[in-house]
Amino acid sequence: MLLLAASLQSLGLRDWQVVLGEVSLTRALLAPFPSPLRAKVRGAIARLDRITLETLPLSQELRDRALFIFDLRGHPATVLQQVARLDLDPTAQQAVTRLKTLLECLQANQTTPLPLLLDLSLLEPIDYYTGIVFEIATWSARQYDLFGKGGRYDHLLELYDPTGKGGPGVGFALNLEILHACLLTSAQLPQTSPASDWLVIPQTANALPAAFAHAEQLRGAEPRLRVEVELSDRSPEASRAYARTSRIQHLAWVAADGTVQVETLTPTPSP
């Protein structure tokens, strides 16, 4: 979570917030519901579907509990005070303790407070998370944007191991399209693409394999080089014109036998 927050801070993004949930605690809060209805209650909370919660065939006590969980979000200290009033079983008590420890860790090394909202109604439709879940979001007057999301999944790896061996895991994914849209209005994105270092040109059609081999050799050099291979049927002068337009100074003319002739173009002077 700190890595995710630091990533967004380094991009200069503003007005974002961490929305944190704890699915094992929320599952414990859902335990009193009858088994046939528990999945429906959970699904309605995950979809933020208050109307369904109000119309399910529940006793008044269970309906009040469902709506209580539905609205269980806000400042972490306030939400934890609300949870403390409940009669929690040992599993739920352990989840609360872990959550308090996590909140302390998140705030301990921050020069500025981490913008954090505790939301115990935060449930994912895909039910493989086993502990914390979190989203990074921003609100504007017009929309809600989700920069990224993730969580803890302690039983996911065992589904893919041939022997069923598992292990704890946690991770997140970023929504690159939304991040790109937000950064378009800032100075964070480069205004021009970096030029390639080399243009590798096969001298004949049967020289293409040798050209690809030479391009891979150049890419493996240190420092890492940007290398293009000429795939169009251009004349030599047209290839040189393309290289000048693309700000590529180094050309490698490759013959079918692997022989390479290097040409360095003089940069076009700026107007």
Domains in the chain, number: 2
Alpha helices by DSSP H, listed for the chain, are 2-10, 23-30, 35-46, 50-55, 60-70, 76-84, 90-108, 176-183, 208-219, 236-245
> Are residue 167 and residue 203 in the same domain, yes or no?
no
Provide the pLDDT confidence category of residue 109 given band limits of 50, 70 and 90.
low
Among candidate residues 131, 153, 183, the one where a domain is terminated: 183
255 against 270, higher pLDDT = 255
pLDDT above 90 for 6? no
pLDDT the model gives residue 137 = 87
pTM over 0.95: no
pLDDT above 90 for 26? yes
Provide the pLDDT confidence category of residue 112 given band limits of 50, 70 and 90.
low
31: buried, middle or exposed (CB in 10 Å: 19+, 13-18, 0-12)? exposed
> Are residue 42 and residue 127 in the same domain, yes or no?
yes
pLDDT the model gives residue 111 = 64
Provide the pLDDT confidence category of residue 265 given band limits of 50, 70 and 90.
very high
> Are residue 71 and residue 164 in the same domain, yes or no?
yes
Bridge partners of residue 202, in order along the sequence: 254
* Mean confidence (pLDDT) of the chain: 89
200 against 84, higher pLDDT = 200
pLDDT above 70 for 208? yes
pLDDT above 60 for 174? yes
Residue 76 belongs to a domain: yes
**Tally of CA atoms within 13 A in the half-sphere of 144 that contains its CB:** 5
